[in-house]
Amino acid sequence: MKIDLNEAVRCLVENDNIVILPHDHPDGDTLGSAFALKRALDKIGKKVKIVCDDGIPEKYSYMIQDVKNDDFSDEKFVVAVDVADISLLGEKTREKYKNKINLAIDHHTSNRLECEKLLLDENAAACCETIYEIIKESGIEIDKKIADCLYTGLSTDSGCFRYSNTTSRTLRMASELVDLGASHFDINVIMFETKTRTYMKLENLVMKTMQMYYDDRCAIVNISQDMYEMSGSNETETDPIVAKTRQIEGVLVGAVLREKSDGSFKVSLRTNKDLDASAICGLLGGGGHPKAAGCQIDGPLENAREKLLDAIGKFLN
Ligand SMILES: [Mn+2]
């Protein structure tokens, strides 16, 4: 059932022993949402824990400083943040919480998570926009740490306010968060300037695999398990690579095929102009946003690439 902001605030304030679920392979928005919400609920004396199969990448460590996951077994209320589909939760979390999600807060057009209540704002550039509104509406004070978490979600999901999902509201919220103490400069350096050495090695390997299709309107690269080994990198560092494919002049759709340890491929897709990334991935059982989406395809690589190109071709021709 779709609910509005006030109802979501009421649910959160009235419940206790709250579990927050970010998606697996966590990014700045899902973690910013989870930790901002946890920090806010902590302030009004709630017991709150965040549950995620995957570890939290080092670069987000400022968000978790001084936060302690509460320890309780009688879980009363489960909230998913930025999770569009049950498959985006890690396996352990998925098994434990499927059919038990009370509230989902999200901004994906393609949201199909089974939940009791859904607060969906498809116009929000980041789930953190909605979390910001929730905290504000609840009257809980937004301190510097909360502002840092929310700013992280806003900036990362909007590509540092460059993507077309950025609205005047996104910019207004970012400016309010800076007024509330968010370290926008430090966060931007960490998220958009700094690259690890392992990432640079991986990027070099991946860019050599680039192939162009459909009269150079489509660019595809792939990442193999071997490349992680050779570079010392891992899946958590792959996000900036997909953005690169879309930056090439004339490219309308860019994609990365990431090999999983089971030999299947996780696809991340980015589009330019009016091409609908979510619709393309929808043909392959995935989804996402109009300009950024993903799906999963069986291996081997040739199979995955062929299926992906087929789906893309339906939109390009
Ligand atoms: Mn998001």
**pLDDT tens, position by position, 141-152:** 999 999 999 999
For residue 302, the CA-to-ligand 1 centroid distance in Å is: 30
CA of 98 to the centre of ligand 1 (A): 20
How many A from CA of 83 to the centre of ligand 1? 8
Output the CA 279–ligand 1 centroid distance in Å.
17
Distance 108 CA to ligand 1 centre (A): 7
Q: pLDDT for 190-212, tens place per residue?
A: 999 999 999 999 999 999 999 99
How far apart are the CA of 127 and the centre of ligand 1, in A?
5
pTM: 0.88
Among the CATH numbers 3.10.310.30, 3.40.190.170, 3.40.50.620, 3.90.550.10, which is that of 197-316? 3.10.310.30
- Given a contact cutoff of 8 angstroms between Cβ atoms, the answer to whether 92 and 31 are in contact is no
Residue 258 CA to ligand 1 center (angstroms) comes to 20
What tens digit of pLDDT does each residue of 217-249 get? 999 999 999 999 999 999 888 988 998 999 999
- How many Å apart are CA 298 and CA 307, to the nearest integer? 9
Q: Per-domain residue ranges for the chain?
A: 5-192, 197-316
Sequential DSSP letters for 18-45: EEEEPPSS--HHHHHHHHHHHHHHHHTT
pLDDT value for 239 = 86
How much is the pLDDT for 167? 98
The residues pairing with 105 across neighbouring beta strands, listed in sequence order, are 81, 119
pLDDT band of residue 262 (cuts 50, 70, 90) is very high
Checking if the pLDDT of 301 tops 90, the result is: yes
HSE-CB for 297 with a 13 A CA cutoff: 28
CATH of 5-192, one of 3.30.1450.10, 3.40.50.300, 3.30.465.10, 3.90.1640.10: 3.90.1640.10
Q: What is the mean pLDDT of residues 82-98?
A: 96
Alpha-helical (H) ranges within the chain are 5-14, 28-43, 61-64, 91-97, 127-138, 144-157, 168-179, 184-188, 197-207, 225-231, 239-246, 277-282, 301-316
pLDDT value of position 259: 97
- Listed residue (114, 121, 144, 130) closest to 29, CA to CA: 130
Residue 165 CA to ligand 1 centre (angstroms): 11
Q: Using N-to-C axis directions, what is the helix angle for 168-179 and 127-138, rounded to 10°?
A: 50
Using the mean position of ligand 1's atoms as its centre, give its distance from the Cα of residue 166 in Å: 12
- pLDDT over 80 (residue 317): no
What does the pLDDT average to over 22-31? Answer: 96
Q: How far is the CA of 163 from the centre of ligand 1 (A)?
A: 13
The answer on pLDDT for 116 being more than 80 is: yes
CA separation for the pair 60, 151 (Å, rounded): 12
Query: Which of these, 281, 274, 244, 307, lies nearest to 84 by C-alpha position?
Result: 281
Distance, CA of 314 to CA of 317 (rounded, Å): 6
Give the mean pLDDT of 25-30: 96
Burial class (CB in 10 A: 0-12, 13-18, 19+), 160: middle
pLDDT of residue 236: 84
What pLDDT score does 223 carry? 98
Any idea which of 50-54, 234-238, 253-257 has the lowest mean pLDDT?
234-238
Q: How far is CA 69 from CA 49, 78, 149, in A?
A: 5, 14, 16
